[in-house]
Amino acid sequence: MRKIFTFLSAFDQYSALDFKSDLIAGLTVGVMLIPQGMAYAMIAGLPPVHGLYAAIFPPLVYAIFGSSRQLSVGPAAMDSMIVAAGVSTIAVAGSHNYVAMAVLLALLVGVIQITMGILRLGYITNFVSIPVINGFIYAVALTIAFGQLNSLFGLPVLISEDLYELIIHFIHQSNEYDWKTLALGLGAIVLLILFKKIHTKIPGGLIVLAFGIIISVAFPVEHAGVKMVGEVPDGLPGFSLPLFDTDAIRALFPIALTLAMVGFLEAFSVGKTIQRNHKREYEILPNREFVALGAGNIFGSFFGAFPTTGGLSRSAVCEEAGARSVLATMVSVLLIILTLIFLTPLFAHLPKAILSAIIFVLVLSLINWKKVQYLWNTDRMDFYLMASTFLVTLIFGIEKGVIIGVILSLLVLVYKTSHPHMAMLGKVKGTDHYRSLARYPTAYDHPDMAILRFDSRLFFANIGSLKQKIEKILLEKPGLKWLILDAQSISDIDSTGLEGLNDIYDLLCDAGVSFTMVSIIGPVRDKLKISGFVEKIGVDHFFPSISAAVEGKSSTLLFQTNA
């Protein structure tokens, strides 16, 4: 039972204090989710009420089947942008058909995610790097922010993933800017930023939303040209099957596959980050996450929801507010339900510029400049990987950004695997330690001897790099008589690696250089012996350490033990 409903384990030692924490966290996230859900529905090109539908049903299903206790599932900025980019190619934004296609898309995403979970494809998280995800998120955030400028200036909203198109559209309509709408939107942005600076727990979005409704009711801004959200259906949506259309399914499938992957990676990375604070309480299970997110999207599609995933900002707030179990999610959902039943008439008086201001601040907050600077200072390759994904997504669109990002991740993985770290070693003066000459320039480097440490598994992808390194050493040390290969970091060796070692031995023999291997772990020694390599070069060419090799202290026990 607990294998299926993992959330039950959270209640083993549940206390009144835990309930209080869940109640506070649930109310905090629920209050945050009301304006967010409506705003993200607008990004997706849907009526705002569909954002509230998406904040009820998928989170409920995830709470039952998911492995995270703090992940807040619901509408998200990036997914909403992808929905808009995909659905707008086959239907007119805001139309009944557009809504039907967005709901069908949620069903397709759910089916793909559940299938991936059943096929146990959760391991794909190992092949997409965090810098790629960040670069993608930053590009989408910037595109969404520019997309909201039209609404902030009182212009008709253009749904597009092309930043250039958004900028040109905005500039060409400069003579139609509505400064009253802009003043209202800028006021909301200033308030949101101030509330965030004062304290992150202040529900700035809800306060600004209430502020906009009060302004529009107290003053006739609608008659002055300020556009309103308009009538929002009250009550809960009824059950209905998504529209099944084979042509639509065929057209939506590529975007559904993109959303299934992006949504999963986003939710998994957020859930994994938060789980680090709860290592002894639960584990994030990739395949279970696929199934839970997929089931949530399928169930949500029966009630008018569009594709959802785990939200970064809401989940962070949920964690910070002290959520202990999925009960926090239940409280958030209950708050959304009460809002739909009793408060929707108020939203008719909400200026669209207020929702655009909320979106603008939310998406720009996703761009973490400190993380960009951190990558620049610590890992330039990861920085360039992030920057490349950012530029590709910005220039060529979301789908190509995802594809190119994944390809770049795999290329970097292949490059790093095929070019492992190697270090030339020298003896540190006054000790028996041998360290990297690059880090210890005063270490002694004997002119007739070279000590090379290889820091990786030795297999078909990188044996060529080892050969090239040894050839370079022969050129740099023409008087070389002895080469020692420190194999302490070689965790495994395959058949190609074994053949490569034979080639290296032959190369060194031809050059008149003696070859020795030291610090070999048991499983690698076994393969060297079985392959005949030990017999070929002689057991006296293997030593337990560099010091033993230099001092000539060979050990005949090396190949007589499984240690």
In this prediction, residue 427 has a pLDDT band, given cuts at 50, 70 and 90, of: very high
Residue 65: partners with Cβ closer than 8 Å, 6 or more residues away:
4, 5, 6, 288, 291, 292, 295
Q: Between 277 and 544, whose confidence is greater? A: 544
Q: Between 21 and 297, whose confidence is greater? A: 297
Q: Between 393 and 297, whose confidence is greater? A: 297
- The confidence score (pLDDT) of residue 488 equals 94
Does residue 255 surpass a pLDDT of 70?
Answer: yes
Q: What is the mean pLDDT of residues 19-27?
A: 88
Q: Between 284 and 365, whose confidence is greater? A: 284
Q: What is the mean pLDDT of the chain?
A: 87
Does residue 8 surpass a pLDDT of 60?
Answer: no
CA dihedral for 373, 375, 377, 382, sign (positive or negative) = negative
Contact at 8 Å (CB) between 448 and 478? no
Rounded distance between C-alpha atoms, residue 141 and residue 275, angstroms: 25
Dig out the tokens for 78 from the structure.
């990036």
Rounded distance between C-alpha atoms, residue 432 and residue 418, angstroms: 32
Helix (H, G, I), strand (E, B) or coil at 426: strand
Percent of the chain topping pLDDT 90: 44
Query: What pLDDT digit, counting tens, does each position of 362-416 carry?
Result: 778 778 888 899 999 998 888 999 999 899 988 887 777 878 888 888 888 888 8
Dig out the tokens for 6 from the structure.
């993992």
Contact at 8 Å (CB) between 527 and 551? no
Rounded distance between C-alpha atoms, residue 518 and residue 540, angstroms: 11
pTM metric for this prediction: 0.74
- The confidence score (pLDDT) of residue 223 equals 65
Residue 83: partners with Cβ closer than 8 Å, 6 or more residues away:
44, 45, 46, 102, 105, 255, 259, 306, 307
Query: What pLDDT digit, counting tens, does each position of 476-503 carry?
Result: 999 899 999 999 999 999 999 999 999 9
Rounded distance between C-alpha atoms, residue 313 and residue 274, angstroms: 12
Does residue 2 surpass a pLDDT of 70?
Answer: no
Q: Between 99 and 313, whose confidence is greater? A: 99
CA 512 vs CA 471, 480, 505: distances in Å: 13, 8, 10
User: Whose CA is closest to 206, among 332, 90, 32, 364?
Assistant: 32
Percent of the chain topping pLDDT 70: 95
- The confidence score (pLDDT) of residue 315 equals 86
CA dihedral for 337, 338, 344, 347, sign (positive or negative) = negative
- The confidence score (pLDDT) of residue 1 equals 56
In this prediction, residue 290 has a pLDDT band, given cuts at 50, 70 and 90, of: very high
Domains of the chain: 15-414 (no CATH), 420-550 (3.30.750.24)
Dig out the tokens for 425 from the structure.
């070693």
Helix 312-320, helix 16-43: angle, nearest 10:
160
Rounded distance between C-alpha atoms, residue 361 and residue 163, angstroms: 18
φ and ψ of 452, to 5 deg: -120, 125
Helix, strand, coil distribution of the chain in percent, nearest 5:
60, 5, 30
Query: What pLDDT digit, counting tens, does each position of 42-76 carry?
Result: 889 999 999 999 999 999 999 999 989 889 999 98
- The confidence score (pLDDT) of residue 409 equals 83
Residue length of the chain: 563
In this prediction, residue 563 has a pLDDT band, given cuts at 50, 70 and 90, of: very low
Rounded distance between C-alpha atoms, residue 273 and residue 148, angstroms: 30
